Structure 1
Amino acid sequence: MMRTLRFLHLWVGLILGLPLLALGLSGTVLVLEPELRGLFTPSPTAAADTGAAAHSVAEVVAAATAAAPPGAKPANYAAPTEPGGTATVRFQAPRRAPPGDAGARPAGEARGPSPGGPGGAQRGPQGPGGGMPGISVHIDPVTLAVVRTPGLDATIGWFHRLHGNLLIQDRSGRDLVGYLGIVMSALGITGLVLWWPRPGQWRQAFIVRKAAKGARFHRELHGAAGIWGLVVFLVVSVTGVAIAFPQTIAAGVGSALPMAAQTQGFAVPKVTPLEGGEPAGVDEAVAIALAASPRPGLALRAASLPQSPDQAIRVVLAPHGGAMTSAITLMVDPWARQVVEVRDPSAQPAGNKVTGWMRPLHEGEGLGPVYRVLVALSGLLPLLFAITGTSMWWIKRQNRKAGAARAAAILQSAAE
């Protein structure tokens, strides 16, 4: 059994090393996305310097829409995460007309990136299975000035698509990522079995000895890094599978734990438009959500912008400076002007809490900065495993060749 596990562990790792490496490194980049944005995005100082009040959500969206490419439709508003920060409006990118087709397709049907518009609009992640709109515009909510982030959104968007669907713009890409997550989990478990030390060798199994050279050095580094990072590595891998196959995982969790039905993921429930009526705008929807919030002291974190008349408005509220794991989501019917669904993690059944933690655990949220750093480092483990695993295989292969050559030389010398 051990020989078979060793064979499978080696060759699965060698054959799938590149896509696993891509998932790991892109995951590290996305965990560090806030730091990258803080490093490359200038922070507006109008709010801090003047004390002026921020404009309404609708006014910020209107300013962003004026800076976006023609035909781009606003899809989501994200409030500043700190005083003096920028608000972000994400758009569904307008779909390019194919060669010879003079008519443009409706906004929101984009399959490929659309050119960035004037005033700092950048291409971002998009496409089926990508989970995010195609263009982001960053706005100072006090002055309504566009904050430019040249190339950053396009770069981050590329990493989102690489990590979410390996740049394959249909559901098969997301499924492939889910299967690779299963492979990564299996490599972690088989690695634990292969690492398991003999009696009396436990201490050595957790360290890399100074005297270790060649294949032994790579084997000890491979094992020590694997065992120290195994828990977080498995958590990130398993939660990645859950994100790729949410319905399957939810059904499995629901069979073991109590679970209430709710709209899955970022989807919003359908509502019934009122003929001759006027739906509530995003500002009114936010006010309705704040008034209906089951917990006091929450502030707006994000709001969706309906893409069709039969969509509810998703409003996300969270404590000032709090993690998204403590946020609650309220779905507002803009026609009836009432909340039709509340997702409060503290009031959900156990099954909903389990599934609700999948994405925060995968993205490094909710358990403090130390866990977030560990999640970022876990994305580097596939690179380390690829280097040390390939090195062990290559050195042993060369040693076998050298041994065979020596044996052949001895036999030839004896024959002479």
Structure 2
Amino acid sequence: MMAPRTPRGRPTRGRTVLRRVHLWVGLLAGLHLTVLSVTGAALVYRSELQRALHPHLFTASAPGPRADPAVVLEAVAGAFPGGRVSGVDVPTRSRDTYLAYVLQDGSFRTVLVDPVTARPLGELPERSLVRLLQDLHFELLAGRTGRRVNGVGALLVLVLAATGVGLWRARVRSGEGNGGEDPRRLRRRRPRRWTLRGLHGAVGMGSLLFLGMWALTGVYLAFPSQLRAVVGLVSPTAPPPTPQVESGSGGRGPGENGAAGVGPALATLLQTARAVAPGQHVARVILPVDEESPLLVQFSPAFRRTGSDPRLTSVYLDPHAGGVVEVQGPSPASPGHALTSWVRPLHAGDLGSPFLKVIWFLAALAPPLLFATGFRIWWVRVVGRGPSPRGLTEASSPGGRGRAASPPWPG
């Protein structure tokens, strides 16, 4: 059914409003969204970038069996005697070395450790290309203010997506550009000619799901507490509570000297945890933060491809008595918790598949292409040529003699 049109062939008032909103939101937010898209596309391969920039931190010194996480934690604690070791992530398919975290002199240090010799290889530098890309993408180099601006930008992406879909539906229904003929019959008679507007629409509709996903997850990352409250109205978002243990008698707290502060031998505690999750791989070890906190060992059913997979089995142990306190399976506590747990992996494309990385990278380049084609359409129709070709044709035709040319409808 044809969309209603005015007697002079112009779009209806509703479609005009959609065009105006889509045009000006795109022009005002286009550069901002282009920066986010380009930096986001680069960060899809942040592990590869880090390995290329700092190969000595991501390469094992020699082939051999992997060192036990307990040995790694002891080595890191010895290398930073004045700091507190928070924990360690085991190697993944995208990172060959251990990743340890140390709090020292009020700063949080990220230490890479040789997976065979357990020797600390060095720290990730505070200033690097990857860190610059991260700060620019998530905070626009402006801290919390930049994060909020990004949140507003994510909301504008939703506006662009909604108005774009409305315009696309109206264009398809009206057969605009095809002489008012049904475009489905027209395609059977002649091949489609790709115009700039056609390319703009095809890229927009082809990347619509990605744009919507990035917009929603971007709003969440900019305003996490507010979005958790909204999701919490439907389903709780809080993870299962962390169990507590009784304070050890006479034992040194883990905050004094990192891994060496755990009561029983750390290797023994890890063996106890492995007995609870047989056949699984240690993915992460998090040390207690005080006398009443448990030791946490997380397992994955297979060798992890990435470090952000939320599907982990958590085993909590008493660092003083050495027993198992609680086991929490990989199943989320609620649908709301599952939803919020997948926000970061989905936003970053950290899903463990090289093929999906390519898809995420290519989709992230859609907004710059949409901005470039949309700006060009606006420039040609409004700035470069003045009145639209359709209006000029009407003014020069016999039936349109003496009639004013149609105004240039942007978009």
TM-score normalised to structure 1 length: 0.69
Judged with a 3 Å threshold, the aligned counterparts in structure 2 of structure 1 residues 298 and 310 are, in CA distance, closer, same or farther, namely same
Shift of 1:182: 1.9
- Residue from 155, 165, 180 that aligns with 2:139: 165
Secondary structure of 1:301's counterpart equals strand
Q: 1:26 is matched by which residue type in structure 2?
A: T
Secondary structure of 1:236's counterpart equals helix
Residues 345 and 353, structure 1, Cα contact 8 Å, conserved in 2: no
Judged with a 3 Å threshold, the aligned counterparts in structure 2 of structure 1 residues 36 and 16 are, in CA distance, closer, same or farther, namely same
Judged with a 3 Å threshold, the aligned counterparts in structure 2 of structure 1 residues 64 and 161 are, in CA distance, closer, same or farther, namely farther
Shift of 1:342: 5.3
Shift of 1:228: 0.9
Residues 313 and 330, structure 2, Cα contact 8 Å, conserved in 1: yes
Shift of 1:250: 3.2
What's 2:106 paired with?
A: 107
What is the distance in 2 between the residues matched to 1:71 and 1:395? 64
Which protein is bigger by CA-based radius of gyration?
Answer: 2
Q: 2:347 is matched by which residue type in structure 1?
A: H
- Residue from 119, 138, 160 that aligns with 1:187: 160
Q: 1:317 is matched by which residue type in structure 2?
A: F
- Residue from 283, 308, 313 that aligns with 1:301: 283
Judged with a 3 Å threshold, the aligned counterparts in structure 2 of structure 1 residues 254 and 339 are, in CA distance, closer, same or farther, namely farther
Q: 1:391 is matched by which residue type in structure 2?
A: R
What's 1:320 paired with?
A: 302
What is the distance in 2 between the residues matched to 1:337 and 1:3? 70
What's 1:386 paired with?
A: 371
Shift of 1:137: 2.5
Equivalences for residues 216-255 of structure 1 within 5 A = 216-217=195-196, 219-255=197-233
Q: For each residue in 1:59-106, what CA deviation from the matched residue of structure 2 results, as whole angstroms up to 9, or x when unmatched?
A: 45634873x7x97654442211149921122345x6xxxxxxxxxxx5
What's 2:8 paired with?
A: none
Q: Show structure 2 runs of 5+ residues with no match.
A: 1-13, 174-181, 393-411
- Residue from 25, 31, 35 that aligns with 2:48: 35
What's 1:102 paired with?
A: none
Q: 2:151 is matched by which residue type in structure 1?
A: G
What is the distance in 2 between the residues matched to 1:15 and 1:354? 31
Judged with a 3 Å threshold, the aligned counterparts in structure 2 of structure 1 residues 401 and 347 are, in CA distance, closer, same or farther, namely closer
Judged with a 3 Å threshold, the aligned counterparts in structure 2 of structure 1 residues 304 and 21 are, in CA distance, closer, same or farther, namely farther
Residues 364 and 375, structure 1, Cα contact 8 Å, conserved in 2: yes
Residues 73 and 85, structure 2, Cα contact 8 Å, conserved in 1: no
Residues 50 and 130, structure 2, Cα contact 8 Å, conserved in 1: no
Shift of 1:19: 2.5
Shift of 1:34: 2.7
Shift of 1:149: 8.7
- Residue from 17, 29, 37 that aligns with 1:24: 37
What is the distance in 2 between the residues matched to 1:299 and 1:151? 29
Q: Show structure 1 runs of 5+ residues with no match.
A: 95-105, 109-132, 407-416
Question: Kindly, what percent of the aligned residue pairs are identical?
Answer: 30
Q: 2:344 is matched by which residue type in structure 1?
A: R
- Residue from 356, 359, 380 that aligns with 2:344: 359
Residues 232 and 378, structure 1, Cα contact 8 Å, conserved in 2: yes
Residues 279 and 334, structure 1, Cα contact 8 Å, conserved in 2: no
Secondary structure of 1:277's counterpart equals coil
Q: For each residue in 1:195-235, what CA deviation from the matched residue of structure 2 results, as whole angstroms up to 9, or x when unmatched?
A: 22323336999xxx8855xxx42x22221111111112212
What is the distance in 2 between the residues matched to 1:305 and 1:261? 21
- Residue from 223, 239, 264 that aligns with 1:262: 239
Residues 76 and 90, structure 1, Cα contact 8 Å, conserved in 2: yes
Would you say how many aligned residue pairs link Structure 1 and Structure 2? 351
What is the distance in 2 between the residues matched to 1:83 and 1:391? 40
Q: 1:157 is matched by which residue type in structure 2?
A: R
Judged with a 3 Å threshold, the aligned counterparts in structure 2 of structure 1 residues 15 and 79 are, in CA distance, closer, same or farther, namely same
Flag the structure with more relative contact order, 1 or 2, with Cα contacts below 8 A and sequence separation at least 6: 2
What's 2:101 paired with?
A: 90
